[in-house]
Amino acid sequence: MPRTLNMQYNFEPDTLPYQLDLMGFTGPPLENKTLFGIIEFAGTNSFKFDCDVGPSNESGKKYRPAKFTKDTVTYKSDRLSSKLMQQTNLCKI
């Protein structure tokens, strides 16, 4: 059965690639860690996300990937929020 993770996020749409940091995890293995990530929306139901983990009390500059690689995974879901897509002007719906 999938486990639910509680966390907070910070999304920076004024950067390219967009920055998405996930933090505030309440349990192992990511407790007291931040995932410093980059994200690219590839339509209304898919996105690429790549990240590296670092201490929560540090800047993401030295941890965040600078670009996507050939190993970056594209995630697809019919449950991606069209409201999020519209609010961030990432694609036309």
- What's the pTM value of the predicted model, to 2 decimals? 0.75
- 20 belongs to a structural domain: yes
CA distance linking residue 18 with residue 39, whole number of Å? 5
Task: With cut-offs at 50, 70 and 90, classify the pLDDT of residue 92.
Answer: very low
Q: Structurally, how many domains does the chain consist of?
A: 1
Contact in structure between 7 and 31 (CB atoms under 8 Å):
no
In a 3-state reduction of DSSP, which class is residue 43?
coil
* Inside any domain, residue 92: no
Q: What is the pLDDT of residues 24-40, one digit of tens each?
A: 988 888 888 999 999 99
Confidence grade of residue 86 (pLDDT, cut at 50, 70, 90): low
Task: Tell me: pLDDT of 90 over 50.
Answer: no
Secondary structure class of 17 (helix, strand, coil): coil
Residue 54 counted as domain residue:
yes
Q: Rounded to 5 degrees, what are φ and ψ at 86?
A: -70, -40
In a domain, 26, yes or no: yes
The arithmetic mean of pLDDT across residues 37-58, rounded, is 88
